[in-house]
Amino acid sequence: MDLTIYQSFLPQNDHEAAIAFYRDILGFEVRNDVEYQGLHWITVGPADQPDTAIVLHPPAADPGITDEERRTIAEMMAKGTYAGVNLASKDLDGTFERLQAGDAEVVQEPTDQPWGVRDCAFRDPAGNMIRIFEVR
């Protein structure tokens, strides 16, 4: 079987803030920005990885979601407990400094974890947890 990760999905509730964070702070390219009925689905990814992307989507656009579920999603996003993604960098300290200078919300400075990885963490404008692992 030949499988690769093609797209991952993260919720966003402010399309302009999402683009500013993922393009201007993380340095990803915006590959697509689809608007439908005032909602935006934005596809972003690293320029040197054209086959891997994150789709930033409106969190409660699914017509099958109930009003109670929409409230729960909004509450979890506000707390930063709804979604997240793990990224990797060969230069964790340099990446951390660039993100911190870009006013990203710092959750954790670069730290050597007891399970053997070194990582840091930020939140995007929607509250999603963005963890960045150091790879060699």
Which residues, at least 6 apart from 32, have a Cβ–Cβ distance to it below 8 Å?
41, 42, 43
pLDDT tens for residues 98-122? Answer: 999 987 899 999 999 999 999 999 9
Mean pLDDT check: name the lowest of 31-35, 57-61, 118-122: 57-61
Neighbours of 86 (CB within 10 A): 13
Q: What is the mean pLDDT of the chain?
A: 93
CATH classification (class only), 7-134: alpha beta
Q: Beta 105-112 vs 29-36: how paired, if at all?
A: unpaired
Does the pLDDT value for residue 17 go beyond 90?
A: yes
Q: Which residue has the tokens 């399970």?
A: 115
Does the pLDDT value for residue 30 go beyond 90?
A: yes
Of the candidates 55, 107, 57, 102, the residue with the CA atom closest to the CA atom of residue 81: 107
pLDDT for the residue 45 = 97
Q: How confident is the model at residue 125 (pLDDT cuts 50, 70, 90)?
A: very high
pTM: 0.91
